[in-house]
Each structure stands twice: as structure tokens, then as C-alpha cells.
Chain A
């Protein structure tokens, strides 16, 4: 067969990350433990390089390449930039934590970079095949990352559960993909959309395909009732890995939903809307209700993630450009908050002490007022307190479903975010109103301090002036 080389220019960032990751992998083998910072530096350099490449080639009109399996568009580029940013922060926050636990190994960064590559592929996928490839690349990296602390039985158990459940969900997703392919004869997202538009929902095979796709996607997002892995994995994994799982992959998962449900099966919106309503409702309910009862903050944040996913789904199920933009805004903002929250958690942990209970935040204001302030900002933003960016995120998604007439769902969302505010405020109460139980000074390296401060302040700045990010999101989806 003739082989025509595709246009490699649009995939330049992916190629760069791939090459660099392989380089890091090889270089790391020849490094001594005390030189491990070179691996770290190279990993950050990779992200920086990819960011520059993406920035310089920022797409204004969509370009497809790799035989239609890959698309470069503004949504993808914006999400990718956010992924680099979030991952860079994750790598930085994790560094000292890993070092104190003898986990500062090349694997963390290599797997992390492979995960980033997987996310990039997911974000830019233009066929069900590349969607799946990217997803598995990310998932496999995550499974391994969870188990990176091999001596921890809790982490191994979490990894095992994650792997078994994740494989099952991947299988269902693949099943769905194969059925959609069977019904339409295409895996290219564009051709798929055309075929679906032509034949409509008369074909039950397509319906089943859709069902299984939604099941698979829900699992990856962590929406109820496919959320079971989230709390166990969040709690069981080393906090640095939880941070990784809880941040950038959410952006990729959002892209996944957008590519498959909106770009590919957009004409079936009426059908998946029903399913997403149920998922969103259950997620908001269960996430917020169960979070109240948690005393472990990693677990609490896991349930909080689940509830945030519920909110994010609200934007998507609205099925309007405004709704998608709102969901995208929500996702980006959520990642910013999650990175910050786990970042503070990582800073609080030290050799021989794992900060993971809400009580560990007691009296943080007396120990380090600045850190307490940042944590308060993050918690308030998560709770959706006005003048914090999290508030606008909630507002936008609620607005988008009010616009399509689902007022009852919006009211439900409001109700559960009130319940949600309860447990975030419990943390704030611990920060300010309680006496510290442990007065060990908090060590923080200079760069961590700078970045974590910027992270927290960004929530406030965006809270005062969210328009820039909002318009970025909406132009990315429209343009």
C-alpha cells in the first residue's frame, strides 16, 4: 500500500513530548539518586517546551492530520496549555514530598509525562481510535503511579482496585465504540457525526453504543454510579499521585466527553442529555452528602470531585455553546482549585507525617497565616463563595441550564452546593477557629511557596475579573 506521510506540523507538541519523555527515561537510568533533580528539571523543561510549541502554533481554525485521527483546534490548544500548567505545578508540589519519602524517582516524572502525552492525544483526538489510545495511555500511567509506593499496602490495594475497575470501564467504552462503528461504519468523529445525523436514532445498535460510551466516560469522569474507584484511589494513593489524578486528567476527561458526545454524537443530544441529567443529579447528591461524613481530607476531596463532576455535567447536558463554555470554564477552574488544595496538603506533610485528616489543618493560621489564607481561598472557591472564581463557575453552569428551562435541576444544584458549602467551611473553621495540635514549623521551598501563592491568588484575581478566561473558553469552543 502507498504510504503518504501526514502533516507532522500540527502534532509537533505531541512529538516533542514523546521524544523528550523517552530521553528523560533513558537519561534517568544513568543518574545517581542525588542527581535526580536533573530528571525533574528535564520534565519541567518538556512541559515548558510543549507549552511554547502549542502557544506558537495556537490554532484559530481546526486542522486535521494523521489520516483524520487527530485534530488541532482552539479548544484542544487551550486545554493542552492548561494541562501543561497543571502538570508543571503538580511536578513542583510533589518534588519535596517525594524526596522526603524516598519516592523521588524518575518513574514518577516519566509516568507523569507519558500521562501528559496521553491527555494530549485525548484532547486532540479526532477518531474513536485515538480517543481510546490516549485514554489508555493515561490510564495505564495512572495505575502504575498509584502503586509507585510499592511498600504501602493501601496504595497497592488502591492501584489494584483502580486497575480492575478501570479495565472493566475501558472495556465497556471499547464495546460502545465498536457498536457505534458497527452502526455507522466510521470511527472518524466527523464522518461519524454525519452518519448519525443521517440515520438518527432508529438504529438500536447505535443506542447501545451510546449507552456504553456514556458508561465508560462516566467512569473516567468519576460520575455516580461509576464513581466507586474515586474515594479509594484518592485516599490510597500517595498524596502527590492523588494530586496528579485529581488535576489535569479532569481536563482530558472533559475533552473526551466533548469529542465523543458533542462532536461525534451531537445529534443524539436529546438522548444523552437524559442520561447526563441522571448522572449529574446523582453525582451532586451523593458527592455532597457523603463528603460531609468524611474526616479524611483526601477522601473528602474525592467526594467533592464527584460533586464537581456533577456540576460540570450540567454545563455539557445543556447542549448549548454557552453550556459547553461554562463546563470548560468549570473544569479549568476546578483543576486550579484541586491543584491548590492538594498542594497545601503536600506542603503540610513532612518526613514521617502524612497530612490527610481535616484535623491536621487545625490552627494552621497560628502556624502559617499565609498558607491558611490560601487554603481558605481555595476552600471558599470550591464552595462557590462570591468573589471567588468558583462562584462564577457554578453560576455559569446553572445559568446555562436555566436557559434551557431545567430550572428544577438548577435549584437542586443550588441546594446541594449549600450542603457542599458545609464541609468546605468545616475546613475553614479548622484553619482559623481551632487551636493547633502540632506546632512543627512548616518547611516550604522558595519556588513552591511562590507557585502555591500564585495558585491561590489566581483564584481571587479570576474571581474579580473572570471575563478573560470566560471569553477564552467561549472563543475556543466557537472558533
Chain B
């Protein structure tokens, strides 16, 4: 039943869209039907609520988040529900005649229904998180409704501003409610409402209150978030009347009332809620007087009245709460009728500016009469509903003795607010309906169509009825609503019009006369206002937004300038900082296991290496020199390997270094000779950064060297190398035996890479800038020299290959050395000439190498051992003596072949582009 009340309008939103083709009346009837059904359902539950029962309904929805679809209907909910559906019904009727023929009525109705569903969701939700969902949904609907005339710039701006503020506040509210739920132990209002003591005494109370208040203040347009409401007046008037006076902006105060039993009653509540309310009440009442826009005046007046309700709830006494609830009802009726009247005036005259709208009484006496009664209610004239709640408010301020000596301030400020409220009401009446003749109106106004005025008539009648017979009309509803706010039995109060001569009556009288006086002297005030305009929220907001945008652009330009150098510098800097932070608490590790002692030679090596690296960078504009320096750095590394007794590594490093340098030299020919000069300051910045990073890494290395080593893997290999793999050169044994499978994979990768590079190079390179080989005469010596060298180097390769299993060497190194021998031939001689003589088909060698490796491995499988198991025998060779022949040697041969072929394939591709390399 409860769920249906919400679902009806939400699902019914499709109805007007569907009925669109049958005309505007069908649309309106359909919408009205949905609203009426929802209202009837609500009324059906009313007896239970009046009997003091709490109607509940629930379903688990997302238990992981504590979000359940649980609903409740109590007095407060009933009151709001009737307001929402009742005024909703009137707005449906009003909108039918208000919108122009070319406006899409169905869209407005659909959105209004959706909004109504969301609003009903807020008031019926038992789960606070569910409440929040509906809360945000109303913000969204408001966004779409304010932006209804989206071709208008002010509508778009207003819509966006409203959404940002209300939805953003809603997110703060989410945080607050999550926190509240955590403290209270549940997200269900039924439970939360009983845990008031727990929540109020929790240290998180202030935070929760602030966050929730942020949501409330944005939604109910309280200072300093009030400025979206005047901007939202760009919406069609039915929307302003419905959302921005009667319902949506009340959601904030509704939530305050809802959580009243949980949060109210503390000093913080009083000063925060009461303070915000009081200031908003005064400020907005003052501002309202100076608006020239009819709806702008009403918007500020709405803000002011919301401030009044907030203040009443903030006072925190049960009586004040009753007054607050009462004022919610009264404000909804008179303000909605005023908005509708303003809409009629705009509709008929095409203008909303009070400087042009004058003397309309002549043209539309009936509307004028209605508007005047409603405005009088707003001003708090006796016999109208506004008077009653205002009187209660004055009485509350009189009895407020919380602030000791300065308690007197409250009634005084309340009276001042009353004065301004009367003044702007007077302006509304006098400026529009009297005060001379209309000035330059787009069209001559006359009475509106009958049905456009009916909703206003109904509302004004309500104002009068409530004003004169409060106890018979609104009494029971107010009682049941107020009691669900207060949570306990209500204190005695009287709704009578006449309480005898007392202070509140005096204040009312003062306010009435004062207001008229202020209005009559308005010229002075207007001049004052023009000379010292108060800072306007939306301007500050816009300025802040612009500042934010500028900041964002600046940040983009600074961080993301598109230069890789900048990114690299930032990356290194960030890593460095992260490292420093990591180092901070512990410092460098103490020396647990002293590393190798430092001697002079090491220092020289280190400095040399640093120098070479520096030169590489320094000379980077002259690429050849840079390459040489890089090669130099590589050679120092070779020396370092020798120094630390790693001959195998040194050998490999040496050959790799030479081959890569040659390949790079060949590649350099394709790069342009010219280099762009760098900005002056950057080298120093980069140098500093590099130095810091280098020191960091050095410190790290030092730290690692000084910690106790793990039981090293090396021991395992050292002990098992000879018995398991039949070789004493552990590095080689690992490569061809222990990790034979890996080597097979790597070799395959090498082949694939070589084929890929060759294919790419064959695809065409730009014309080289320099020739591959120096011209013949000067290289004559070299040419003659390399011929005998070829044989020697090849022999060396064979030697390295054969002894590889036990002594430094092996297939990889041997392959590189052999490749180098051949490379030298190409370099010294003309490329094509050598190609003719050396008719090697490299891919074939690669294939052969790979096959050899695979066959060696597979052979062991044939013999019943796992793949790649190796074995070895000792044979006596004539010249060389005892020679160990391991099956791994065949494996190594495969590696040897692949390496030679790979290097040469790449080299040929680079040296002789365009040639069919594969």
C-alpha cells in the first residue's frame, strides 16, 4: 500500500507521454488521475495515523549497504503527503492552462509526476539511505524542470546551479547519514529515532550534524547556499510554485523535523540550526524588498520563511517545533497561491518586472484580490493563516531565555524580520496592483482563463479557513504531525486567534506598522542598497568557479605540457620522494653483513663510469660522440666484472658491447644530423635530479649489500654443476642444462625478433644520411688487415665454444665473436662485395640452430628421460687430449648458430637497406 503511493506517480509518469497524442486535456486528466489515486491511497491510511498507529512496510533491497526498501507513515509524513498530492493536483490543473501551445505539456507532466514520486519517497522512507536516494532524485527532477525551457540561457544556468548545489549537498548528507547510521547502529528510522541519547553523546555528533546540515541548507536554500533559488526562478511558474515554494525546498526542513528527536536539544543544534535560520530569515527578508522581479521577490521571501521554520526547529523546544510544523503548512498554501498569481500576471502581461507592472487592479480585479489576500497572509495580517504561525513564533522568541542577558535580542530581531516581511508584502501588493499605470507592457493584461485562477482561489480559501477556524480545519492534522516530530506527548498549546493583549500581539502590530512605514520610505533604502550592495552569493560562486577553471587550466599546462622530458623528470622525482619517505622512519640499515671493502680501484671505476654516463648525456647532440661515451661506460662495466671475478660475464659483456655499438653506428645513419638545442636551465635541473636519483640507488645498493644474504641459490648450482651437468663453468651449465628450457625459449625469441627486424628493414627505411662504409682508399689498411683476422677470430670462436662447458666461453659468446669477425669484413669492405662472396642464407642457420636444440632435447625423451636431460662422455682426442663431450654441446651449437645468424641478419638489414634480407 505504502509502496504503491510512491510507485503510482513514478510509473504513472509514462501516462502523460502516452496520452500525448490524444491532446492536452487527455494528458492533464491522466496526470490528475494518477495524483488523485495516490492521494486517495494516502487518505485511506489516514485513520490509522490519526489513531496513533505507525504504518510500516518493508523489503530488503541491498542488504550489503544497509539499504532497505522500508517505508513508514506517521503524522509528519501524512501532513507532507497531503501537501504534496494536494498542491500537486492544483499545479496539474494550473499548468494545463499556463503553458503555451508550443510547449510540450506531456514532458512537464511526466517530470512533475516523477518528482512527486520522489518527494513522496522522501517523506515515506523509513530507511535513511532510501530517503537519500529519493532526495537526490528530487534534485535531478528539479534540474530537468528548471531547465524545461532549455533554449533559454538563464534556464540552463539556473538548472545547473541548482543541481550542483542541491545534489552536492545531498552527497554531504549521504556521508552524514552513513556516519549517523554507524553511530546509531542502524539505518532504519524506527531504530535511529530511539537512539537519540547515544547519538547526541557520541564524539561524532558534531560532524554528523554539520554534514546533515550541509544537505539541509543546500536543499532548503539556507544561507550561504540560498542563491540557487532565485536563479531557479527561470523555471515555468507551476514548477516554481510546486517545487520551489511548497514542496522540494521543504525537504530540508522536513529532514530537520524528521531527525528532531535524534539530533535536537543540544547546544550545537541550537547555535548551528538556530543561527543559520535566524540569519537567513533576516537576510532574505531584507533582500526580498529590493527585488524587481516578481518571482525574485517571492523566491527571497521563500528563503526567509524557510529560515523562519529552520529557526523554530533550531530553538528545539516542543512548542517551537509545533509552530515550525504549523508554519510549513501555512507557508505552502499562501506561497503557492502567490506564485500562481505571479504566474497569471506574467502570463497575461508578458512581464515580471515590478518597475513596469503597475496599476493592474483595473485590469484584473479578481486576481488582484486573491493575490492581495495571499500577500496579507504572508505579511501576517490577522484572520489569515500566516498570522497564527507568526504569532506562535513571536511567542517562542519571547520565551527564549537561553542566552541570558541578550535574550531580548531574539524578539527584537524577530520583529525586524516581521517588519521587512510586511514591507515586501506591501510592495508586492502596492507596486503591482496600484501605484500608477503599467509602463511598456508587451500586451494589455486582462483576467486569465477561468481554470487558471481556480487553483489560486482554492488555496486562498484555505488561507482564510485556516486563519479563521484553525482548530476545526488544521488542528488534528497539526497535532498528529507535531507529535511525530517531537516524539513525546505534545505540550498544551492553543490555536485560537485571540490570546488577549500580550507581547506577541504587540510585536505583530509593530511589525505591521513598521513594515508599512519602511515601505513608504523605500526610496531611501533603495538608494542605500544600490550604493552598498551586499555580496551576492551567485557572483561569488561564479567567480569561484572561474578561479577553479583557471586553476585547472594552469595545472594542465604545468603538468601536462606534452613533453616527455617533463614527465620523466616528474616520474623520477616522485619515485625519489617515495623512496625518501620510505627511508624516513628506519634510516639506512645497520651493517649486519659487511660487504666487500672499498678500495681505490673500485672508486676509480665508479668515477669513470659516472663520467662516461655524464659525457653520454652531455654529448647527446653529437650522436657519434655520445655513442662512443656509452660504449666507454660499457667497457668500464666489463672491467668491473673482471674486478669481481666474473670472467664469463665480462666476456659476454665485452662482445655484446662491441656488437651493439656497431649496430647502433649503422642505425645512426638514418637519424637527422641536426639536433634541437635545449633550454638553458634544464640541464642543471636534470643533472640535479639524476644526481639525487643516483645517490638514492647507491644508498639502496649499499643497504642491500649490507644485509645478511639469503641462503643463496648459487650454492645449489655450485654443488650440482659438475655432478649434474658435467661442467665446471656454472653459468654455462645453467644456460644449457639447468635452465635449458628457458634457453630454448629465449633462442626462439631471438629468432623471431631477428626475423621481425629483418622484415621491417626490408620494408624500407628512409634514405640514410651517411654512407655505410668509408670510401675505399682510406680504409685500405683495414681491408688488408681484416682478411687474416677473419681466420684468427673464427678460430678463437671455436676455442671459446669448445671450452665453454668448463671454462669461460660457450655458444653465446662464441657466436658473438664469430659474428664480429664477419661484421668486420662487411665494415671494411663494400657491403655488396662481401655479400656476393659470403652467400649465407641466415634464416636457414637460425632454423638449423633451433632444430638442433629441439632435437637434442627430444633425443633424451626418446631414450626415456625427460625433455632436455643432458649426459656427457669423456673422449680422447688426438691433439687435445682428454675431452669431455656433453650432449649439452649440441645444444650450445644451436645457440651458436642462432646468434651468428641473428646478428648478421640485423646488420645486413641496417647496412644495406632495401635488400631482400630474408
Contacts and interface: CB of A to CB of B under 8 A. Distances in A.
Interface of A: 1-3, 160-161, 164-165, 168-169, 172, 179, 182-183, 185, 201-205, 207-208, 210-212, 214-215, 219, 225-226, 228-229, 231-232, 275, 286, 289-294, 384-387, 392, 395-396, 398-399, 402-403, 407, 410-411, 414, 417-419, 421-422, 425, 429, 432-433, 465-467, 470-471, 474
The 9 closest A-B pairs by CB, nearest first: A293-B552, A418-B168, A185-B710, A228-B567, A211-B582, A386-B136, A433-B150, A3-B866, A225-B574
Contacts of A203: 589, 707
A452 B556 CA distance: 32
B232 to A, nearest CB: 16
Nearest to B562: A232
A208 to B, nearest CB: 6
B779 to A, nearest CB: 36
B286 interface: no
Contacts of B182: 402-403
B62 A292 contact: no
B200 interface: no
Nearest to B573: A225
A172 B575 contact: yes
B711 A183 contact: no
A402 B552 contact: no
A293 B574 CA distance: 24
Contact of B581 (A211, A293, A421): A211
B710 to A, nearest CB: 4
B170 to A, nearest CB: 8
Contacts of B588: 204
B174 A205 contact: no
Interface in B169-191: 171-172, 174-175, 178-179, 182
B560 interface: yes
A421 B583 contact: no
Contacts of B862: none
A228 B560 contact: yes
B137 A386 contact: yes
Contact of A422 (B63, B140, B164, B562): B164
Contacts of B574: 215, 225-226
A182 B704 contact: yes
A374 B704 CA distance: 55
30 contacts: A2-B866, A161-B564, A165-B571, A168-B572, A185-B710, A205-B703, A208-B583, A208-B703, A210-B582, A211-B579, A215-B578, A231-B560, A275-B581, A292-B548, A293-B553, A293-B555, A386-B137, A387-B133, A395-B174, A402-B175, A402-B182, A407-B207, A410-B178, A421-B164, A432-B150, A433-B150, A433-B151, A433-B156, A467-B62, A470-B62
B549 interface: yes
B552 A290 contact: yes
Max chain A C-beta neighbours (<10 A), residue from B211, B556, B579, B710? B556
Contacts of A289: 548, 551-552, 555
Given A3-B866, A289-B548, A212 B568 contact: no
Contacts of B600: none
Nearest to B553: A293
A429 B611 CA distance: 59
A440 to B, nearest CB: 23
Given A396-B65, A410-B175, A165 B568 contact: yes
A433 B151 CA distance: 7
B167 interface: yes
B575 A212 contact: yes
B724 interface: yes
A84 to B, nearest CB: 25
A214 B578 contact: yes
B167 A467 contact: no
A294 B703 contact: no
Max chain A C-beta neighbours (<10 A), residue from B63, B567, B568, B587? B567
Contacts of B711: 185
B174 A164 contact: no
A221 to B, nearest CB: 14
A165 B567 contact: yes
A421 B139 CA distance: 13
B432 interface: no
A461 to B, nearest CB: 13
Contacts of A466: 62
A475 B707 CA distance: 41
Given A225-B574, A290-B556, 12 more contacts: A164-B568, A168-B571, A169-B571, A203-B707, A211-B579, A214-B578, A215-B575, A226-B574, A385-B140, A385-B167, A418-B164, A429-B156
A10 to B, nearest CB: 20
A399 B552 contact: no
Secondary structure of the B contact surface, majority rule: helix
Nearest to B550: A293
B707 A183 contact: yes
B63 A467 contact: yes
B578 A275 contact: yes
A205 B589 contact: yes
A389 to B, nearest CB: 11
Nearest to B136: A386
Given A208-B700, A414-B171, A228 B571 contact: yes
Contacts of B65: 392, 395-396, 399, 470
B32 interface: no
Nearest to B165: A418
A384 B170 CA distance: 12
B513 interface: no
B137 A387 contact: yes
Nearest to B182: A402
Nearest to A402: B178
A279 to B, nearest CB: 10
A417 B556 CA distance: 19
Nearest to A179: B704
Contact of A386 (B132, B147, B551, B868): B132
B511 interface: no
Contacts of A205: 589, 703-704, 707
Interface in B122-180: 132-133, 136-137, 140, 147, 150-151, 156, 160, 163-164, 167-168, 171-172, 174-175, 178-179
Nearest to A294: B556
B61 A467 contact: yes
Contacts of A228: 559-560, 566-567, 570-571
A411 B700 CA distance: 38
B64 A204 contact: no
Contacts of A214: 578
B867 A1 contact: no
A403 B66 CA distance: 13
B17 to A, nearest CB: 13
B586 interface: yes
B97 interface: no
Interface in B509-553: 548-549, 551-553
Nearest to A410: B175
A338 to B, nearest CB: 20
Contacts of B168: 418, 421
Contacts of B570: 225, 228
A387 B129 CA distance: 12
B133 A386 contact: yes
B393 interface: no
A355 to B, nearest CB: 21
A395 B150 CA distance: 31
B738 interface: yes
Nearest to A408: B207
B156 to A, nearest CB: 5
Nearest to B713: A185
Contacts of B174: 395, 398, 414
Given A289-B555, A414-B172, A433-B156, A204 B703 contact: yes
B568 A398 contact: no
Max chain B C-beta neighbours (<10 A), residue from A179, A201, A293, A432? A293
Given A3-B867, A207-B582, A421 B567 contact: no
A197 B212 CA distance: 42
